[in-house]
Amino acid sequence: MEFIIDTADLKAIRRIVEFFPVIGVTTNPTIISKEKTDFKQLALDLREAVGPDKQVHIQTTSEKAEDIVAEAKALYDLVGGEFYIKIPIGAEGLKATMMLKGSGIGVTMTAIHTPQQALQAALAGATYVAPYVNRLDNVCADGVGVVADIVTIFDAYGLDCKVLAASFKNVQQVHECALCGGHAVTINPDLYDQLVYHPLTDKAIVDFTADWKSVYGDKGSLDLI
Ligand code: E4P
């Protein structure tokens, strides 16, 4: 299962890349806008922050297929490396995805809210589909259920497209996506810390430290061997 960082906050990206086994960064126009900075420089900085060997996903702001393709090529030339153009699902987006086949530019079809949208995206040639788990949960539409249905359909037809679940508000949603065979998740930096938090873990570490110090004081094992 792949983990990706859903932010354009460069400091947060550098920290998560250092401490967690992530494979890249995703953004959308809302995430980019939050940084209130020069877009071209931010796109370059995203590549630098995540590293040359990881994925960068940037979303198109164009509506027509031809414009989406031109934008994808320009961003690919700018950012380099393993680059994915995020394209919202729709007729123009599907056309753009089919036009990009063989270009070397990956497509992440985004704003997916139904399994049939995901199926069209996969058949058009998208590398990833991004269903919005929490936004579906917010309207009582079972976000993880949609992810599970997409996984089932892709498996049934042997489609070479990965489910990159997005829009998470808690670890339980991530956990359920892992259980149903979701191939990837993109989550915000705060959730990464929650993934590895447990009060019993904290207590265990406090107890280990206290027991050690009760015999060896401030000396570490390196001081003793
Ligand atoms: C990623 O592809 C999505 O744009 C993002 O995860 C949406 O998250 P949100 O629902 O928290 O805005």
**Confidence class of residue 205 from pLDDT cuts 50, 70 and 90?**
very high
Question: Quick check: is 39 in a domain?
Answer: yes
Looking at ligand 1, which residue's alpha carbon is closest to its atom 4? 28
Instruction: Report the separation in Å between the CA atom of 221 and the middle of ligand 1, taken as the mean of its atom positions.
Output: 45
Ligand 1 lined by 135 (C-beta under 6 Å): yes
Q: Atom of ligand 1 at shortest distance to CA of 169?
A: 11
pLDDT at 7 (0 to 100) = 98
12-33 burial, b for 16+ CB within 10 Å, e for fewer? bbebbbeeeebebbbbbeebbe
Q: What is the mean pLDDT of residues 118-138?
A: 98
Per-residue pLDDT reduced to its tens digit, 137-151: 999 999 999 999 999
Distance between CA atoms of residues 64 and 138, nearest Å: 30
Question: Quick check: is 76 in a domain?
Answer: yes
**Confidence class of residue 168 from pLDDT cuts 50, 70 and 90?**
very high
Question: Quick check: is 215 in a domain?
Answer: no
Q: What is the mean pLDDT of residues 85-113?
A: 97
pLDDT at 165 (0 to 100) = 98
pLDDT at 144 (0 to 100) = 98
Per-residue pLDDT reduced to its tens digit, 44-84: 999 999 999 999 999 999 999 999 999 999 999 999 999 99
Question: Quick check: is 218 in a domain?
Answer: no
Per-residue pLDDT reduced to its tens digit, 80-97: 999 999 999 999 999 999
pLDDT at 30 (0 to 100) = 98
* pLDDT above 70: percentage of residues in the chain: 100
Q: What is the mean pLDDT of residues 153-160?
A: 98
Q: What is the mean pLDDT of residues 210-214?
A: 98
Question: Quick check: is 145 in a domain?
Answer: yes
Ligand 1 lined by 55 (C-beta under 6 Å): no
Looking at ligand 1, which residue's alpha carbon is closest to its atom 7? 167
Question: Quick check: is 142 in a domain?
Answer: yes
Distance between CA atoms of residues 105 and 103, nearest Å: 5
**CATH number of the domain where residue 174 is located:** 3.20.20.70
Looking at ligand 1, which residue's alpha carbon is closest to its atom 5? 167
**Ligand 1 pocket mutation pick from 132, 147, 169 by most atoms within 8 angstroms of CB:** 132
Question: Quick check: is 204 in a domain?
Answer: no
Question: Quick check: is 37 in a domain?
Answer: yes
Helix (H, G, I), strand (E, B) or coil at 184: strand
Total of domains in the chain: 1
Q: What is the mean pLDDT of residues 184-203?
A: 98
pLDDT at 136 (0 to 100) = 98
Q: Six-digit token pair at 206?
A: 């406090």
